[in-house]
Amino acid sequence: MHLNSDFDGFLDKFFDADFDAKNMSWLPWVGSKYREAECRTIILGESVYDYGEGDDLVRDRILKKDSLRRRQMTHGILAKFKSRYLRNFERAVFLKKHPAEEERTLLWSQVIYHNLVSRLLPSVKHRPKLEDYIAGWRVFFDLVKIVKARRCIVYGLEPLKIEALLAALPLDVVVERKRFPAIGRNKPLALSLRLDGHQVNLLFMRHPSAYFSWEKWGTFLRETGMMPIGHQAGQT
């Protein structure tokens, strides 16, 4: 297994040569147990923001290819920051307010974490444009083929994001879709695609950063068979 000592054995660099060949803006986080997971799953966030408020050193650090990985290590595995979007998703996966350290590391060791938008946004006040999403989905299709992912949990239900996915798909790709009853004000969407000869299932859910009913969404993930890790989740 290709592990990096900088990441305490939690990161697998097996696919990095293929990532480099695609010239990705940021290298995805690939958990050390991803390749042996029951069903290879990508957790797809949205954007990277310039939070440095004009500090060039901060901006340069964010733009480094491994910055998403380092953020996932410190915010996800080590939980050094509150990072609501991570903590809420962990709560949904394990259906408990305070998952144990072992559960948290199990989750992020078994999945890939990637952001859809490949451009650094100037601040949290800026929103991605249609062309940002379209470009991001094309990178995502390459990522799926490289890592042989079979499902993806997508943060966010914005119509523009879904419109961009359909616009980015090759014409010969068949798409099956299903809308679910609303959870709060949000109706989850499932899309099934055939990419590179394999079926890939995508589930669009509310972004877990704020106003996120983790108990309801966690139950929904179980009911739809879209749990990102194996059957052990929620049993501890």
Query: What is the distance of C-alpha 96 from the center of its chain?
Result: 21
Query: Tokens at residue 145, please?
Result: 């083929």
* Least-confidence region, from 88-92, 146-150, 168-172: 168-172
pTM of the model: 0.93
Task: Note the pLDDT tens digit of each residue in 68-104.
Answer: 999 999 999 999 999 999 999 999 999 999 999 999 9
Query: What is the distance of C-alpha 50 from the center of its chain?
Result: 19
What pLDDT, on a 0 to 100 scale, did the predictor assign at position 159?
A: 96
Query: Tokens at residue 185, please?
Result: 């004000």
Query: Tokens at residue 33, please?
Result: 């147990």
d(CA 55, CA 199): 44
What residue spans define the domains of the chain?
A: 39-223
What pLDDT, on a 0 to 100 scale, did the predictor assign at position 210?
A: 81
Angle 147-167-43 (CA atoms, 0-180°, nearest 5)? 35
Determine whether domain 39-223 maps to CATH 3.40.470.10: yes
What pLDDT, on a 0 to 100 scale, did the predictor assign at position 233?
A: 43
Burial class (CB in 10 A: 0-12, 13-18, 19+), 114: buried
Query: Tokens at residue 24, please?
Result: 């990705």
Write down the mean pLDDT value for the chain.
92
Phi, then psi, of 192 in degrees rounded to 5: -120, 125
